[in-house]
Amino acid sequence: MPDKHTNDTGLRMAELLASLSLAIDLGVGQPMEWVLRSCLLAARLGESLGLSERDCQDAYYLALLRHVGCTSTSTTDAELMGDELGFAEAMTMDMDDMAQMMGLLFRNVAKDKSFFERARAIARFMTAGPAYMNASHAAHCDVASRVAETLRLSDGIQRGLWHVYERWDGKGTPNHIKGEEIALPVRVIHLAQDAATFYAMGGVEAAVSMARSRAGRYFDPAIVEAFCRAAPDLLQSLDVDSTWQTVLEAEPGAPARISDDEIDTAAAVVADFVDMKSPFTIGHSRAVADLAAAAAKQCGLPNADVVAVRRAGLIHDVGRVGVSNGVWNKPGPLTESEWERVRLHPYYTERIMNRSAALAPLGALAALHHERLDGSGYHRQVASAQLPPTARILAAADLTEPRPHRAACPPAAAADEVCRMMNAGKLDPDAVNAVLSAAGHRARPVRREWPGGLSEREVEVLRLIARGLSNRQMAAALVISEKTVSHHVQHIYDKLDVSTRAAATLFAMRNNLIFDLDSDSHLSA
Ligand SMILES: [Fe+2]
Ligand SMILES: [Fe+2]
């Protein structure tokens, strides 16, 4: 558990993670509060099993956090499946049942494509599936445990996040551990998530029959037995007016709080969670936050506004997770219905943050980042009178920030576009001037030493990893052999103590390595 902090902002760790869990629901295509209900059942089940307070706390946080690494594979998921959000049912499906598996594939893989394309996609999935799932789960675990470490959650939680895809019979991933090797709180959340899902679909009977059929395969048989004995009471405790409030009240032990200083770290966790969704957005939210804060300072806004705009910048796009990467990464123009989905993302941001009294004001500001002075923006199309200076700055910063795919959007072109929109009466001139001036004066540090003991060449490789390039693509981009690329990648992994591309990408974002190499002159200066 994190320490209790003296500098109390009124934000509980549970509130932050519960808010993030609403984004996770969207990011994995589940109904809102799916994670919260799993967490609530885990807390009730842990209590009824007589678990220690420490194990109950770990189960509670593990239930909230177990899918926080899901965005790290969104792009490859979308490439393999078509719409990664359509695979929600796979998360609680019995993978041993081949008929169910085939049904899932036929219902979901490349569902908008022609018969032949679908057949090809399904064949590709069948071939690549097992190895892909293993790699994908390793990435989720690696990222999730690093998030827990950043938030200073317990060692038990950090270790447990490596067990969330394992199975009692050893047929899970990524390390194939089994039985009591799997941490006890994780064995509790395994059953709690599936039982809460089946209860929502078919009541107590469906949950109990699912639990019995998976005992000894997915689940610890002793936990299943205890669950089945108390199932009606446990499951009916989920039928409450406010799941949010009940989950917060169910936190075992003394609630941990987040200090004012730590809110930036917490908001950066949200930023990385959403930015990992696409190689085109890696580092975007951190860059917007820095730029908007610098511009707000330049405009002479009070410090409270500078802080608010920075934090709103970090969380502004969290609602993006609710829209498939098939839309975000689409090479051609979007259709009308795809635009409708895109226009929802600031609304999702607002709803995700709205439940927590401490985060709601940040969510409300963040939700204005696509609004325009002439009312032509989205999602509310509010008029200029309702757009405070902080919102105007955020909107201009969002359009100006550097993007990883520089070739597609060089800084000068972004600045031209921002000026064009200002001249058309869509963006505030003061905000635009402050943002462009802050962007122009932003000093990129001249680095003689790179974090993690990386060499300059390794940082270059790491940046390409973060942009989603394969080893072959990196070799072509750097004009070196694939073998040399593999050596670099292995050295990077060793130096950073990571085992997946996702964790390496997370390191690159946290250390501002995404954009630093964009101008080689900084390196040679
Ligand atoms: Fe956005
Ligand atoms: Fe954005």
pLDDT of 2 higher than 50:
no
Q: Determine if the pTM surpasses 0.75.
A: yes
Q: How far is the CA of 316 from the centre of ligand 2 (A)?
A: 6
Q: How far is the CA of 377 from the centre of ligand 2 (A)?
A: 14
User: Measured between alpha carbons, how far is 234 from 226 in angstroms, rounded to an integer?
Assistant: 11
When mean pLDDT is compared across 26-30, 138-142, 512-516, the lowest value belongs to: 512-516
Q: CB count, 10 Å around CB of 474?
A: 22
For helices 501-510 and 115-150, what crossing angle results, to 10°? 50
At which residue do the structure tokens 């757009």 appear? 387
Q: Report helix, strand and coil shares of the chain as percent, to nearest 5.
A: 65, 0, 30
More confident residue, 177 or 515: 177
User: Measured between alpha carbons, how far is 459 from 475 in angstroms, rounded to an integer?
Assistant: 14
pLDDT of 525 higher than 70:
no
Q: How far is the CA of 194 from the centre of ligand 2 (A)?
A: 34
Q: Around ion ligand 2, which residues have CB less than 5 A away?
A: 317, 398
Q: How far is the CA of 359 from the centre of ligand 1 (A)?
A: 18
Tell me what pLDDT residue 396 has. 96
Closest CA to 138 of 458, 498, 474: 498
Q: Are 492 and 461 in contact (CB under 8 A)?
A: yes
Specify the 3-state DSSP secondary structure of 157.
Answer: helix
Q: How far is the CA of 515 from the centre of ligand 2 (A)?
A: 16
User: What is the average pLDDT across 463-488?
Assistant: 93
User: What is the average pLDDT across 501-505?
Assistant: 94
Q: How far is the CA of 157 from the centre of ligand 2 (A)?
A: 31
Q: How far is the CA of 228 from the centre of ligand 2 (A)?
A: 47
Bin 83: left if φ > 0, else alpha if -120 < ψ < 50, else beta.
beta
DSSP code per residue over 42-98: HHHHHHHTT--HHHHHHHHHHHHHTTTTGGGGHHHHHHHHS-GGGGGGGGGS-TT-H
Q: How far is the CA of 317 from the centre of ligand 1 (A)?
A: 5
Which ligand lies nearest the alpha carbon of 397?
A: 2
Percentage of the chain exceeding pLDDT 90: 72
Specify the 3-state DSSP secondary structure of 197.
Answer: helix
Q: How far is the CA of 379 from the centre of ligand 2 (A)?
A: 14
Closest CA to 39 of 272, 237, 328, 278: 237
Tell me what pLDDT residue 8 has. 59
Q: How far is the CA of 246 from the centre of ligand 1 (A)?
A: 31
Q: How far is the CA of 290 from the centre of ligand 2 (A)?
A: 13
396-446 pLDDT, tens digit per residue, is 999 987 665 444 455 677 788 899 999 999 999 999 999 999 987 665 666
Q: How far is the CA of 353 from the centre of ligand 2 (A)?
A: 16
Nearest-Å Rg of the Cα atoms of the chain is 23
Which ligand lies nearest the alpha carbon of 288?
A: 2
When mean pLDDT is compared across 51-65, 73-87, 289-303, the lowest value belongs to: 73-87
**CA 318 from centroid of its chain's CA atoms:** 8
User: Measured between alpha carbons, how far is 229 from 223 in angstroms, rounded to an integer?
Assistant: 10
Q: How far is the CA of 398 from the centre of ligand 1 (A)?
A: 7
User: What are the φ and ψ backbone dihedral angles of 257, each rounded to 5 degrees?
Assistant: -120, 155
192-224 pLDDT, tens digit per residue, is 999 999 999 999 999 999 999 999 999 999 999
* pLDDT band with cut points at 50, 70 and 90 for residue 171: very high
Q: How far is the CA of 479 from the centre of ligand 2 (A)?
A: 33
When mean pLDDT is compared across 428-437, 484-493, 508-517, the lowest value belongs to: 508-517
- Exposure letters 403-437 (e unless 16+ CB within 10 A, then b): bbeeeebebeebbeebeebbeeebbbebbbbbbbe
pLDDT of 379 higher than 90:
yes
User: What is the average pLDDT across 133-155?
Assistant: 94
**∠ CA 160-87-164, rounded to 5°:** 5
Which ligand lies nearest the alpha carbon of 287?
A: 2
Q: How far is the CA of 106 from the centre of ligand 1 (A)?
A: 33
State which amino acid sits at residue 274. V
More confident residue, 20 or 417: 20
Q: How far is the CA of 495 from the centre of ligand 1 (A)?
A: 34
Q: How far is the CA of 284 from the centre of ligand 2 (A)?
A: 7
Tell me what pLDDT residue 409 has. 55
Which ligand lies nearest the alpha carbon of 321?
A: 1
Q: How far is the CA of 327 from the centre of ligand 1 (A)?
A: 13
- How high is the mean pLDDT of the chain? 89
pLDDT of 517 higher than 50:
no
More confident residue, 386 or 112: 386
Q: Are 168 and 217 in contact (CB under 8 A)?
A: yes
